[in-house]
Amino acid sequence: MKMAVCLKQVPARDAVLRLNSDSTWVREDDVSFEINEPDIYALEEALRLKEKQGGEVVVCTLGPERAAQALKEALAKGADRAMHLHDPAFQNLDAYATARALAAAIRQAAPDLVLTGLQADDDGFAQTGVILAEMLSWDHSTIIMEIQAQERALKVKRELEGGWFQWIEIPLPAVLTIQSGINKPRYATLKGILAAKTKPLQRLGWKELGLDEESLKPHQKITKVFTPPKSGKVEWLEGTPREVAQRLADKLKNEARVI
Amino acid sequence: MTILPLTTLTDEERLFQAAAREFAEKEIRPHVSAMDRDGIFRRDLIAKFFEQGFMGIEIPEAYGGSGGSFFMAITAVEEFSRVDASAGVVIDVQNTLVANALLRWGNEVQKRAFLPRLARDTVGAYALSEAGSGSDAFALQTQSREDGNDYVLNGRKLWITNAQEAGLFIIFATIDRSLGYKGITAFLVDRATPGFTVGKKEDKLGIRASSTCELILDGCRVPRDNILGEIGKGYKVAIETLNEGRIGIAAQMTGLATGALEQALRYAKERKQFGEPIAEFQAIQFQLARLATDVEAARLMTYNAARLKDAGKPFLKEAAMAKYFCSQVAERVASECVEVFGGYGFTKDYPAEKYLRDAKIGKIYEGTSFMQLQTIAKFLLGSS
């Protein structure tokens, strides 16, 4: 099976984030970047499918120069080749335009299956994967926790709310958005890192992808990014210890959403 | 020629460093405290070191290794030691001493026989020291007597790192004590050899998880083919291997110091006294700034020595300086890390005291600080 994995390079989880001067994004000069966590799981799942039944894994990202690092890491982990969508015209794309550019690249790679993380750790839109599927006119399924390959179809397990799961069958070609925790991602080995040097890393601009400026026009725009204001709200819970504990647990779970 | 900053890494080095760090954080970190307490290095962890290629970094792919550089080996030692200096020394001895000696001195038959094992599943150990010969290494007493096509080894080795887990030992013995250093010969000895026993394991102050044992050789018969290098040239094998090993220890101490500093920084931001985090006090800020400067200098010295070695340039003086300096830095940073933690730092409930205990060995093994100073002085005064 030929697979493509779409991944995004995002600020590292332990990065100290500061806002840029016009408060529309973080100051990228200060932070180190890494592969978006759910995308790492998507890559791992593709590599496992390949190991089980053969095929090819193409990794694909849209981003500036630095994003090539993410592709090299994916190649080091075992992907066969990489496509880097890199063009001055690709700055500040929204999910729609990103998906449009990715769709053009995916058509060139012509895989049977596209895997991507269910959302990005930085903007958390969870849009790119599903819009990509629509643009390709392929079936898609989201928040995938298990994949079983069958003849020209897949059986996949979706995560629903409240601890529920759902098994569905999906024909190929398809796009799946992968949930973190579906597998245990591998570490890049030194052998893999050194082998990655000779793997193809293709760089594609909007012209090579057959895109026009119109198709990259954003449909949405970030107007302001801010840190949540700290508030000093205090609430006294009264009652027996059991009642207080129950209400506290309820508040932490459903209001504060921290447990 | 473009001159790059010393800390510039190639894409491959950066990816490997990141992989080593991630591996150390996720696989080693959860076990550090228990392994230190119990004085046992988990076998399943060593198996993972092999699986990920950390045990044969410089061994060429043709012999089953990863085909990396010396600098990469140093990077892995540093990253492991940032989390646990015991884990650091396990891969350090394997890569910078045992595999290194075989690559440098082994003949083709020996390389084919032993390097794939070292890369795949066999821990190696390097046995030079004895009860009566530490810094005076070539006063060693272990004897090797020629007997037909074999050599028969008798004697005892002491303080042998990794011995508990090792399957292959490089053992230094003398064919004739009256020849002095010119009698010393290096032998490749399999653990299963009759007459070879791993003896008492030391209960140590620091790097407690890493095993340090006595070896007992009692009529241990080793085939002539297992002589590493030439008869009577074991002193060269020992000296030249240890020259590179020193950079490994410098990397271990740099990693340890980095880990200790990170702990101190985190705690200084959390711990409140007089109504504010202690990191707000200039005294603590200056203390941390001094330590960070020390760590930076240690890293630069280590990287420079490793880069010199990879470039095939002379590195002996720089290696001795790096080991001498980095072991001092590690002890100082670890000690002040305990102070930043205050009373908590003195207890085993916090990570600070372990760094201090682990740092102490840096000034002792693979050539004491005095032996490093002697090497440096010889270069300065031209009396080598």
Contact B12 A194 (CB under 8 A): yes
Same domain membership, residue B375 and residue B260: yes
Residue-number span of the structural domain to which B189 is assigned: 125-232
Tell me how far the alpha carbon of residue A214 is from its chain's centroid: 25
A188 in contact with B at a CB cutoff of 8 Å?
A: yes
Number of folded domains in chain A? 1
Distances in whole angstroms, Cα of residue A174 to Cα of each of A126, A157, A217: 17, 14, 26
Residue-number span of the structural domain to which A173 is assigned: 2-216
Residue B138 falls within a domain, yes or no? yes
CA dist A186 and B19 (Å) reads 10
Contact B67 A194 (CB under 8 A): yes
A94 in contact with B at a CB cutoff of 8 Å?
A: no
Give residue A232's pLDDT.
78
Domain termination residue (choose one: B176, B200, B232): B232
Residue A224 falls within a domain, yes or no? no
Give residue B1's pLDDT.
75
Number of folded domains in chain B? 3
State which H helix or E strand residue A166 sits in.
Answer: strand A165-171
Beta strands in A36-80 (DSSP E): 56-62
Residue matched to tokens 């290794």: B65
What does the pLDDT profile of chain B (384 residues) look like in tens digits?
788 999 999 999 999 999 999 999 999 999 999 999 999 999 999 999 999 999 999 999 999 999 999 999 999 999 999 999 999 999 999 999 999 999 999 999 999 999 999 999 999 999 999 999 999 999 999 999 999 999 999 999 999 999 999 999 999 999 999 999 999 999 999 999 999 999 999 999 999 999 999 999 999 999 999 999 999 999 999 999 999 999 999 999 999 999 999 999 999 999 999 999 999 999 999 999 999 999 999 999 999 999 999 999 999 999 999 999 999 999 999 999 999 999 999 999 999 999 999 999 999 999 999 999 999 999 999 865
DSSP line for B330-366: HHHHHHHHHHHHGGGGGSTTSSHHHHHHHHGGGGTSS
What does the pLDDT profile of chain A (259 residues) look like in tens digits?
999 999 999 999 888 889 999 999 999 888 999 999 999 999 999 999 999 999 999 999 999 999 999 999 999 999 999 999 999 999 889 999 999 999 999 999 999 999 999 999 999 999 999 999 999 999 999 999 999 998 889 999 999 988 899 999 999 999 999 999 999 999 999 999 999 999 999 999 999 999 988 888 888 888 999 988 887 788 889 999 999 999 999 998 888 878 7
Q: Are B168 and B98 in contact (CB under 8 A)?
A: yes
- Hey, how many other C-beta atoms are within 10 angstroms of the C-beta on B95? 29
Same domain membership, residue B195 and residue B68: no
Domain termination residue (choose one: B62, B94, B121): B121
CA dist B258 and B296 (Å) reads 9
DSSP SS3 for A119 = coil
Tokens at residue A221, please?
Answer: 């725009």
Q: What is the DSSP letter of A94?
A: -
DSSP line for B26-90: IIIGGGHHHHHHHT---HHHHHHHHHTTTTSSSS-GGGTS----HHHHHHHHHHHHHH-HHHHHH
Tokens at residue A255, please?
Answer: 């209001």
How much is the ipTM here?
0.90
**CATH number of B116's domain:** 1.10.540.10
B14 in contact with A at a CB cutoff of 8 Å?
A: yes
For testing contact with chain B, the best of A193, A197, A198, A201 (most B CBs within 10 A): A193
Q: Which of A72, A188, A190 sits opposite B57 (nearest CB)?
A: A190
Residue B354 falls within a domain, yes or no? yes
Same domain membership, residue B372 and residue B242: yes
**CATH number of A17's domain:** 3.40.50.620
Handedness of CA A117, A121, A126, A127 (dihedral sign): negative
Give residue B383's pLDDT.
66
Chains A, B: CB pairs < 8 Å: 44
CA dist B131 and B133 (Å) reads 6
Residues contacting residue B10 through CB under 8 Å, at least 6 positions apart? none
Residue A198 falls within a domain, yes or no? yes
A84-123 CB burial, b ≥16 within 10 A, e <16: bbbbeebeebbbbbbbbbbbbbbebbebbbbbbbbbbbeb
Q: Are B298 and B261 in contact (CB under 8 A)?
A: no
Beta strands in chain B (DSSP E): 123-127, 143-147, 150-161, 166-174, 184-190, 196-201, 212-223, 227-228, 272-273, 276-277
Q: What are the percentages of helix, strand and coil residues in chain B, rounded to 5?
A: 60, 15, 25
Same domain membership, residue B290 and residue B164: no
Residue A36: HSE in the Cβ half-sphere, 13 Å Cα cutoff: 28
Same domain membership, residue B215 and residue B250: no
Q: Are B121 and B152 in contact (CB under 8 A)?
A: no
For testing contact with chain B, the best of A190, A191, A194, A201 (most B CBs within 10 A): A190
CB burial class (10 A; 0-12, 13-18, 19+) of residue B3?
A: exposed
State which H helix or E strand residue A204 sits in.
Answer: strand A201-204
Give residue B80's pLDDT.
98
Q: Which of B14, B18, B66 sits opposite A194 (nearest CB)?
A: B66
Give residue A59's pLDDT.
98
Same domain membership, residue B259 and residue B130: no
Same domain membership, residue B166 and residue B34: no
Same domain membership, residue B176 and residue B252: no
Torsion, CA B90, CA B95, CA B100, CA B101, rounded to 10: 20
Q: Which of A189, A196, A197 sits opposite B53 (nearest CB)?
A: A189
Residue B183 falls within a domain, yes or no? yes
- Hey, how many other C-beta atoms are within 10 angstroms of the C-beta on B145? 13
DSSP SS3 for B160 = strand
Distances in whole angstroms, Cα of residue B185 to Cα of each of B107, B172, B179, B299: 15, 6, 11, 35
Nearest to B58 by CA among B300, B222, B247, B288: B247
Residue A246 falls within a domain, yes or no? no
Residue B182 falls within a domain, yes or no? yes
Q: What percentage of chain A carries pLDDT values higher than 90? A: 81
Contact B68 A190 (CB under 8 A): yes
Handedness of CA B180, B183, B187, B191 (dihedral sign): negative
